[in-house]
Amino acid sequence: MERRPDDRSPISEHINATWLQHRVRGRIVGTLTILEDIIYIALAALFFLAALYIMIDAVISAHWRSVTSLIGTTLDRFLLVLMLAELLHTLLIFLRTHRFRHQPFLVVGIIAAIRRILVVTAEEAANRPVAHIGQYLWDLGLTTAVVVALTLALRWSPQERGF
What is the DSSP secondary-structure string of 23-54? HHHHHHHHHHHHHHHHHHHHHHHHHHHHHHHH
Q: Is residue 58 part of a domain?
A: yes
Query: What integer pLDDT is reported at residue 122 of this predicted model?
Result: 72
Range of the domain at 50: 10-156
Query: What integer pLDDT is reported at residue 110 of this predicted model?
Result: 92
Query: What integer pLDDT is reported at residue 35 of this predicted model?
Result: 94
Query: What integer pLDDT is reported at residue 45 of this predicted model?
Result: 95
Q: Is residue 163 part of a domain?
A: no
Residues of the chain with pLDDT under 70: 1-12, 14-17, 19-20, 68-69, 125-132, 160-163
What letter would DSSP give residue 130? G
Q: Is residue 111 part of a domain?
A: yes
Query: What integer pLDDT is reported at residue 163 of this predicted model?
Result: 46
Query: What integer pLDDT is reported at residue 17 of this predicted model?
Result: 66
List b or e across 139-153, with b for residues whose CB sees 16 or more CB atoms inside 10 angstroms: beeebeebbeebeee
Q: Is residue 1 part of a domain?
A: no
Q: How many domains does the chain fold into?
A: 1
- Cα–Cα distance, 87 to 109 (Å, whole number): 11
Q: Is residue 161 part of a domain?
A: no
